[in-house]
Amino acid sequence: MPNPSAVPSYASGISDVPLLGDTIGDNLDRTVQAHGDRDALIDQAGGRRWTYREFNAEVDALALGLLANGVSKGDRVGIWAPNCPEWTFVQYATAKIGAILVNINPAYRAHELEYVLNQAGIRMLIAAERFKTSDYVAMISEVRPRCPALTDVVLIGGDEWHALSRTGREADPARLAEVQRTLSADDPINIQYTSGTTGFPKGATLSHHNILNNGFFVGELCNYTECDVICIPVPFYHCFGMVMGNLAATTHGACMVIPAPAFDPKATLEAVQAQRCTSLYGVPTMFIAELSEPSFDDYDLSSLRTGIMAGSPCPVEVMKQVIERMGMAEVSICYGMTETSPVSTQTRADDSIERRVSTVGRVGPHLEVKIVDPATGLTVPRGEPGELCTRGYSVMLGYWEEPDKTAEAIDAARWMHTGDLAVMDDEGYVNITGRIKDMVIRGGENVYPREIEEFLYTHPDILDAQVIGVPDARYGEELMAWIRMREGAEPLTAESLREFCTGKLAHYKIPRYVHVVDDFPMTVTGKVRKVEMREKAVELLGLQELAKAKHA
């Protein structure tokens, strides 16, 4: 029988600081009034920088140029580019006129680009000419005839780009102020496509209220002021960059630093040193790369105070090194998803080291979280695992033009079902134990890869580890560990790993297979693609026939 005295896994975020009720454009204007002469944006690679007053002038010129071009409230404007100052100008310019910014993954190929252009009904596409090996111009030319809504393509740095700004500088600023007065904080302002690891990606539609407040409160919990300088090596096209990075900065008058167009560990460390950054962002793999940089000890990182590690589960050992070797004593772990703007829980600067290295913190201000039994939907007692759900100002408006998929994710009471497995302790701290879809069922035992990965990090020769389930005739699924070794270490075998695990992990949690790699397959945001790993593992192990077998 259930215990009626058990405390439910539910928590709400209490705050003395009220939610922001304005639009992104109005909020930026207020910051410019208060901190106009402070640095707003520094492009480390390009050697360019803007004060808030200069930054706002670029944004307003682009906004007026877009208006002159016929772009209006509700029109979709796509941005397809790596991190650059122009990306940020577009972010704020579209917000000021009420156009909906559609973030397009820089790694997309032609067929993915075509899908997003049509699904969102993008009217104008602003793009880089190329990025790494991707020829954006060629891909745009290929798909444009099949995208009827697309009337304008503007290449960053090209004639059309300069024409937009030039037209805007010559326009009457009163027109922009007039348009801003017609906007509501609840208007949709941003569409971000989820990774699409199964089927086509879905467009999470977010309002001013969603992302402005999330950026603001993430910054509040990092104790940001106008004196902070935030190094942002994570992609702008993702919430981590444009919300937790850019909007956290501009709501506090802090400075945004772009170390490079794409993540580069050396460029990131150089930017922190050169600009005396107080905060550094990254997914765990980025911090691992920085800590492993051969010249790491040559950099002066003494200005660092805080930062955020998020985007995927944060290994305890990596978190400890970030605190000890990088001096990020107040580093925060955030947990969230695109559909929730993104952050739902966060560790605080005054949390103990143990809390900050082993949990994703507590619920954010003005938000609610609960953990439910996926089968019944009922809230489980604290200490028991279940699916994490969240509710509040951060929950998206819905998936763009996909009401059925929206209804699958957000229930009638407006709870967003994350698909993540979690446990809440007696003090409300949350630990993510894995994805419902990542859980491995081996011979009837539920196995959570995250638990095994954390244990493998304690091996002195293992730099990084990912655990997946692969088909097995006897047990249904068996465990496989993909491992990155430290430089100079002897590659592990299944036998040597089993020896290390025996007596420390239950027998059914010990990986049967070991695969040593230089790198994991990753998304552009640094998330490990376990779906791709499973596909490759089936080929490596010759399990194609087993993989085809159907199960109840």
Per-residue confidence (pLDDT) for residue 524, from 0 to 100 = 67
Mean pLDDT value across residues 473-483: 90
342: preceding bond cis by omega (within 30 degrees): yes
Which among 398, 432, 422, 434 has a CA at the least distance from the CA of 191? Answer: 398
Per-residue DSSP letters for 385-422? Answer: -EEEEEEETTS-SEETT-HHHHHHHB-TT--EEEEEEE
**Is 472's pLDDT higher than 90?**
no
Structure-block tokens of residue 294:
């051969």
Report d(CA 96, CA 73) in Å as an integer. 9
Q: Quote the pLDDT of residue 470.
A: 94
pLDDT for the residue numbered 91: 99
**Per-residue model confidence (pLDDT) at position 3:** 65
Task: State pTM to two decimals.
Answer: 0.86
Average the pLDDT over 516-521 and give the result: 94
Give the residue ranges of DSSP H helices in 222-261. 239, 248-250
Residue 187: pLDDT above 60? Answer: yes
Q: For residue 199, what pLDDT is reported?
A: 58
Average pLDDT, the chain: 93
The answer on pLDDT for 551 being more than 50 is: no
Tens-digit pLDDT profile for residues 534-548: 999 999 999 999 888
For residues 215-241, give the mean pLDDT: 97
Sign (positive or negative) of CA dihedral 524, 527, 530, 531: negative
Considering only residues 435 and 393, tell me which one the structure prediction assigns the higher pLDDT. Answer: 393
What pLDDT shows up at residue 198? Answer: 43
Residue with the larger pLDDT of the pair 349 and 311: 349
The arithmetic mean of pLDDT across residues 389-416, rounded, is 97
Helix H, strand E, coil C: the string for 146-197 is HCCCCCEEEECCCHHHHHHHHHHHHCCHHHHHHHHCCCCCCCEEEEEECCCC
Amino acid identity of 401? E
**pLDDT tens per residue across span 449-468:** 888 998 999 999 999 999 99
Query: CA-CA distances (angstroms) from residue 503 to 442, 499, 500?
Result: 19, 9, 8
Segment 67-111, tens digit of pLDDT: 999 999 999 999 999 999 999 999 999 999 999 999 998 988 888
pLDDT band for 4, please (50, 70, 90 cuts). Answer: low
| pLDDT 10s digits, 7-63 | 999 999 999 999 999 999 999 999 999 999 999 999 999 999 999 999 999 999 999
Which pLDDT score, from 0 to 100, does residue 221 have?
98
